[in-house]
Homo-oligomer: A and B are copies of this chain.
């Protein structure tokens, strides 16, 4: 997760609504999964081309079309045409640089958000753009590549767990959002553990690698915050939009989701603060360690320099230096030097310099 912008320049000069895929092409053939359900039952279907999807949705049932893989522009165009989606919405679905947003187009509303996951091996967060088109009784969801992010929701529908089968398309949309947001919690817990471990490293043996990791985590927190913060507005818009498409009974669930987002922002702020504190401690402990080394080395020099001077004195070649002739001169002067060295050590230790 780098936070750079890429590929947007391909679109410079093209008319608005031109469909260009901006982002990584995972190369797989897009999959279309069609799921229709009501309180009594459900019907699932894997289709190859969009035309096989029924697009006249009856009132009582909820239809969910999940498309994995968005690089197939043909498919998108087809979908947009048959469902009557605005060209700008299709353009946004294709551009994976979008930030999370909510847009109300009257007949349907459009949600973009970011799913995140944690790559254990590379110690990196990976991010995927998820788009939802939510109508009165249908939801179309778009993922960048095949994955199981929505399978818990699908399982719940198929097994009739919870109240999802009794609710409408707005509740389905909520459930998908909820699934995506739950992923953030998982990643935050993993990062929390990483920070904890880093903190221990910091105490025992800080290295330059520690510094790099602190900066990396700080940067990741910033990017996480950026992809979470707009979710507040997204959910807030859904709550407050006066639209027949969102039922009153879904309200408390959205409020709950909103609280989760606020909670995550809080956690991220706490992590950022902890990382800043760790950075301070790192820098001060590095400088402290350096100072200690220099102090010890300088103390050694400082002890020997006066002794060397004394030795130098008795190395002078004056003809008349009576001490040189004394029988005990040598041992006396050596003892004298020893005493000086001991006194200096004692003095340095008392001053807490050693």
Query: How many copies of this chain?
Result: 5
Which residues in B have their C-beta under 8 angstroms from that of A280? 215, 279
Which residues in B have their C-beta under 8 angstroms from that of A259? 92, 98-99, 101
Contact B215 A281 (CB under 8 A): yes
- Pick from B101, B162, B262, B283: contact of A284, CB under 8 Å: B283
Which residues in B have their C-beta under 8 angstroms from that of A277? 215, 218-219
Which residues in B have their C-beta under 8 angstroms from that of A4? 192, 195-196, 267, 270
Contact A284 B211 (CB under 8 A): yes
Q: A192-B5, A309-B311 are in contact. Are A88 and B273 (CB under 8 A)?
A: no
Which residues in B have their C-beta under 8 angstroms from that of A125? none
Verify if A105 is at the interface (C-beta below 8 Å from B): yes
Q: A295-B294, A311-B312 are in contact. Are A302 and B302 (CB under 8 A)?
A: no
Which residues in B have their C-beta under 8 angstroms from that of A162? 15-18
- Pick from B8, B11, B182, B330: contact of A316, CB under 8 Å: B330
Verify if A297 is at the interface (C-beta below 8 Å from B): yes
Contact B324 A270 (CB under 8 A): no
Verify if A329 is at the interface (C-beta below 8 Å from B): yes
- How many angstroms between the C-alpha atoms of A259 and B50 in the bound complex? 29
Verify if A301 is at the interface (C-beta below 8 Å from B): yes
Residues of A in contact, count (CB < 8 Å): 113
Verify if A242 is at the interface (C-beta below 8 Å from B): no
Which residues in B have their C-beta under 8 angstroms from that of A186? 8-9, 12
Verify if A41 is at the interface (C-beta below 8 Å from B): no
Which residues in B have their C-beta under 8 angstroms from that of A270? 3-4, 222-223, 226
Contact A219 B274 (CB under 8 A): yes
Rounded to whole Å, the gap between the CB of A249 and the closest CB of chain B is 10
Contact A312 B308 (CB under 8 A): yes
Contact A99 B253 (CB under 8 A): no
Verify if A319 is at the interface (C-beta below 8 Å from B): yes
Contact B324 A317 (CB under 8 A): yes
- How many angstroms between the C-alpha atoms of A186 and B88 in the bound complex? 20
Contact A314 B318 (CB under 8 A): yes
